[in-house]
């Protein structure tokens, strides 16, 4: 005897029949298919601490914004140290370190107080525009 699924049309709330059949029992569950080849996870190369540190230093040396920073890598955690007069340099150093392959970045770059303050006259110009 073959198991034939029963199809029942249930009425919609307004009384019209639904065009979508509803099965009276759940379909048989098949084994999960293997993911397509383009979706297979690719393992990124793992670097040793020395290799990662050398790669980050190379990126910093090529950059105008992060060339003055020092970096140390221990157990895959990169620590950046140094001082800067531009706030954006701190963020770009973190980005370069992550792109190089560091899983965790401790950014200990100190930003000068003059860089944290808005340019002189900024508040006056903004206030004048509101009047």
Model pLDDT for residues 87-121, shown as the tens digit of each residue: 899 999 999 999 998 989 999 999 988 888 877 76
How many domains are contained in the chain?
A: 1
Is 19 domain-assigned? Answer: no
pLDDT interval class at 16 (50, 70, 90): low
Is 68 domain-assigned? Answer: yes
The CATH number of the domain holding residue 68 is 3.30.1340.30
Torsional class of 82: left (φ above 0), alpha (ψ -120 to 50), beta (otherwise): left
Of the listed ranges 12-16, 27-31, 83-87, 117-121, the one predicted with least confidence = 12-16
Is 84 domain-assigned? Answer: yes
Is 125 domain-assigned? Answer: no
Region 74-82 average pLDDT: 92
pTM above 0.75, yes or no: no
Is 11 domain-assigned? Answer: no
Query: What residue numbers bound the domain in which 55 lies?
Result: 49-114
Region 65-80 average pLDDT: 91
User: What pLDDT score was predicted for residue 67?
Assistant: 87
User: What pLDDT score was predicted for residue 5?
Assistant: 64
Q: Is the pLDDT of residue 30 over 90?
A: no
């Amino acid at each position: 005897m073959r198991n034939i699924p029963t199809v029942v049309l249930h009425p919609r709330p307004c009384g019209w029949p639904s065009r979508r059949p509803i099965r009276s029992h759940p379909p048989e569950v098949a084994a999960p298919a293997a993911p397509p080849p383009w979706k297979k996870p690719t393992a990124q190369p793992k670097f040793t601490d020395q290799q990662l540190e050398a790669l980050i230093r190379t990126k910093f040396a090529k950059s105008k914004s992060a060339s003055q920073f020092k970096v140390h890598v221990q157990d895959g955690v990169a620590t950046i140290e140094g001082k800067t007069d531009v706030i954006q340099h701190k963020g770009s150093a973190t980005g370069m370190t992550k792109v190089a392959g560091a899983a965790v970045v401790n950014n200990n770059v100190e930003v000068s107080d003059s860089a944290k303050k808005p340019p002189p006259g900024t508040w006056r110009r903004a206030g004048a525009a509101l009047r």
